[in-house]
């Protein structure tokens, strides 16, 4: 689809919507067009802030009538900036920010504009939690549609493994509910296949009884990094699903609660989460302390939403960020050497590498049960190069690429990555990320979006 229609007036669409429509002349435009990653600088023709399904249907029909490319925006967190489009129409769902928790059925219905923090806020009041990610500012929509990896993945599976249904506006403007019982082809495809099949306006999730957890970081000096990584590999591989933790290379932030003697030091560590009671957690985590002792032991009992927002302040919107990713099934000692070599050379204080566990409950779902194919992988890895300074964009980018090239040979066979952690990978990598599921996804795409209206995403082409 091509279009420029760069000077489309917002007035005609505004007359039809309850939400705000922002054009290029609007004083709110510069703020409204920003996405999380400041490396992305897109200038849409119109931004339609939809407040309900009717707004979404109307905005989509208008965009198609005007020949505009359409991007769907949830939390705007996508590293590749796929929530926006140059010269096109952004259907911005961020005003659809509501949650309805049903404590009788342990379910939550969530508006597509919610952040993870919105969902946590609402469910925590009932002692419930939906498995999501590690930063509360991320959008629930993009995260869920790509898969959803976080602290509860080993315990309860990916976010999509806890998805019970979606409300969607399809390319032809129709509205459907997709679940195991209705439009099951769509329901299969949206569980990992991204925003390719329609605009999701609400998600229904299964929630679980969790209130507080034992969590936080343990950090070790870099000269223990290879041992720490090997310990982490062996220890977590044997641990119950109650325990999770992502491995990271980090620079200790120069402020409280971190002790002064560690400020600005590059270290490695794990951010843990144990969902059992504190006594069980202490016993389960004892080997971590025995392996150490850690230079920093930040383990404590805390509300799950506190853990899931603990790093928000470090990673605000507006930073330059560049991502590379892989799936990892085995961490050989040789692979660890490569990880440590590059992980010990972080180019800027916020740059990092994370290995997120996706084994446990997530690995007990079949590889064709949802669009997410890599059920045998043990980690979703991401090399996350970050700095506030635009002048450092090339520096962080080349570090991430060098790191990725060194460790990619040790990645899970198939060549794919978690789509939500990809940035400028090409279409071949998308196909590789779905492996055998790609053909079925392309069929679903042909049925529901034969014209590829929804292509501002990791695009699955209609079969
Ligand atoms: C700092 C940071 C931390 C992160 N941590 C995690 C983590 O812990 N776990 C994890 O799994 N991921 C994580 N992510 C990745 C995150 O899942 C993706 O960036 C995801 O795309 C964000 O969703 P969003 O709604 O905010 O994005 P947006 O930029 O708004 O949209 C992203 C994509 O989703 C599509 N989309 C959005 N909303 C809809 C909708 N309602 N209907 C159809 N398509 C839609 C868009 O078309 C676009 O292609 C993190 C990202 C960042 C930047």
90-106: per-residue pLDDT in tens?
999 999 999 999 999 99
Decide: 210 and 242 in contact? Cβ < 8 Å. no
| Stretch 389-413: mean pLDDT | 97
Predicted pLDDT at 448: 98
Residue 404 has pLDDT above 60, yes or no: yes
Predicted pLDDT at 29: 98
Nearest ligand 1 atom to alpha carbon 78: 19
Decide: 403 and 352 in contact? Cβ < 8 Å. no
Q: Which residues have any ligand 1 atom within 6 Å of their CB? A: 36, 71-79, 82-83, 93, 112, 133-135, 138-139, 141-143, 145-146, 148-150, 194-195, 199-200, 315, 420, 456-457
d(CA 99, CA 206): 13
Tokens (6 digits) for 310: 């603990």
Distance between Cα 26 and ligand 1 center (Å): 26
Distance between Cα 374 and ligand 1 center (Å): 19
Predicted pLDDT at 1: 42
Residue 293 has pLDDT above 90, yes or no: no
| Stretch 426-441: mean pLDDT | 92
Decide: 342 and 266 in contact? Cβ < 8 Å. no
Distance between Cα 117 and ligand 1 center (Å): 14
Predicted pLDDT at 356: 98
Predicted pLDDT at 3: 44
Residue 427 has pLDDT above 90, yes or no: no
Confidence at 426, pLDDT banded by 50, 70, 90? low
| Stretch 216-222: mean pLDDT | 97
Choose one of 74, 166, 327 to mutate for the ligand 1 pocket test, by most ligand atoms within 8 angstroms of C-beta: 74
Angle between helices 333-343 and 225-238 (to 10 degrees): 130
Predicted pLDDT at 193: 98
Predicted pLDDT at 95: 98
3-class DSSP state of 118: helix
Dihedral class, residue 81 (left if φ above 0, else alpha if ψ from -120 to 50, else beta): left
The residue that leads in pLDDT, 424 or 354, is 354
169-201: per-residue pLDDT in tens?
999 999 999 999 999 999 999 999 999 999 999
Distance between Cα 112 and ligand 1 center (Å): 11
> Which DSSP helix (H) or strand (E) runs through 46?
strand 46-49
The residue that leads in pLDDT, 7 or 220, is 220
132-144: per-residue pLDDT in tens?
999 999 999 999 9
Predicted pLDDT at 425: 67
Residue 5 has pLDDT above 70, yes or no: no
Confidence at 334, pLDDT banded by 50, 70, 90? very high
Predicted pLDDT at 2: 41
Query: How far separated are the first and last CA of the chain, in Å rounded?
Result: 17
Distance between Cα 76 and ligand 1 center (Å): 7
Query: Considering only 3-17, 26-40, 206-220, which range has the smallest mean pLDDT?
Result: 3-17
Of 183, 193, 245, which Cα lies nearest the Cα of 214?
245
Residue 4 has pLDDT above 60, yes or no: no
């Amino acid at each position: 689809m091509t279009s420029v229609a760069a000077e489309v007036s917002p007035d005609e669409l505004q007359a039809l919507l309850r939400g705000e429509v922002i054009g290029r002349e609007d004083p709110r435009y510069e703020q409204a067009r920003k996405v999380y990653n400041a490396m992305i600088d897109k200038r849409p023709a119109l931004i339609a802030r939809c407040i309900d399904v009717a707004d979404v249907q109307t905005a989509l029909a208008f965009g198609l009538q005007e020949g505009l490319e359409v991007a769907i925006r949830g939390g705007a967190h996508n590293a590749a900036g796929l929530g926006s489009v140059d010269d096109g129409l952004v259907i911005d769902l961020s005003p659809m920010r509501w949650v309805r928790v049903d404590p009788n059925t342990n379910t939550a219905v969530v508006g597509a504009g919610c952040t993870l923090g919105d969902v946590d806020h609402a469910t925590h009041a009932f002692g419930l939690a939906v498995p999501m990610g590690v930063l509360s500012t991320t959008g629930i929509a993009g995260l869920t549609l790509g898969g959803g990896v976080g602290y509860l993945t080993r315990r309860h599976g990916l976010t999509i493994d806890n998805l019970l249904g979606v409300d969607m506006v399809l390319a032809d403007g129709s509205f459907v509910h997709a679940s195991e019982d209705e439009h099951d082809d769509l329901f299969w495809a949206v569980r990992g296949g991204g925003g390719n099949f329609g605009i999701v306006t609400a998600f229904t999730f299964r929630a679980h009884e969790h209130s507080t957890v034992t969590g936080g970081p343990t950090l070790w000096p870099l000269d223990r990094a290879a041992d720490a990584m090997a310990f982490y590999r062996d220890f977590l591989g044997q641990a119950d699903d109650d325990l999770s933790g992502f491995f990271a290379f980090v620079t200790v932030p120069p402020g409280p609660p971190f002790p002064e003697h560690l400020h600005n030091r590059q270290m490695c560590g794990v951010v843990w989460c144990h969902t059992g009671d504190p006594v069980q957690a202490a016993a389960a985590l004892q080997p971590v302390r025995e392996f150490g002792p850690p230079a920093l032991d930040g383990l404590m009992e805390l509300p799950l939403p506190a853990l899931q927002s603990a790093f928000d302040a470090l990673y605000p919107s507006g930073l330059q960020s560049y991502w590379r990713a892989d799936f990892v099934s085995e961490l050989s000692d040789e692979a660890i050497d490569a990880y440590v070599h590059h992980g010990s050379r972080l180019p800027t204080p916020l740059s990092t590498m994370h290995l997120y566990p996706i084994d446990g409950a997530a690995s007990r779902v079949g590889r064709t049960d949802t669009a997410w194919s890599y059920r045998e992988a043990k980690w979703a890895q991401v090399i996350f190069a970050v700095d506030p300074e635009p002048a450092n964009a090339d520096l962080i980018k080349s570090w991430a690429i060098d790191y990725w090239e060194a460790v990619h040979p040790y990645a899970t066979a198939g060549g794919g990555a978690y789509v939500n952690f990809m940035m400028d990978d090409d279409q071949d990598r998308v196909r590789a990320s779905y492996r055998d599921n790609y053909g079925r996804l392309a069929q679903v795409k042909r049925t529901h979006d034969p014209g590829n209206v929804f292509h501002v995403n990791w695009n699955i082409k209609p079969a």
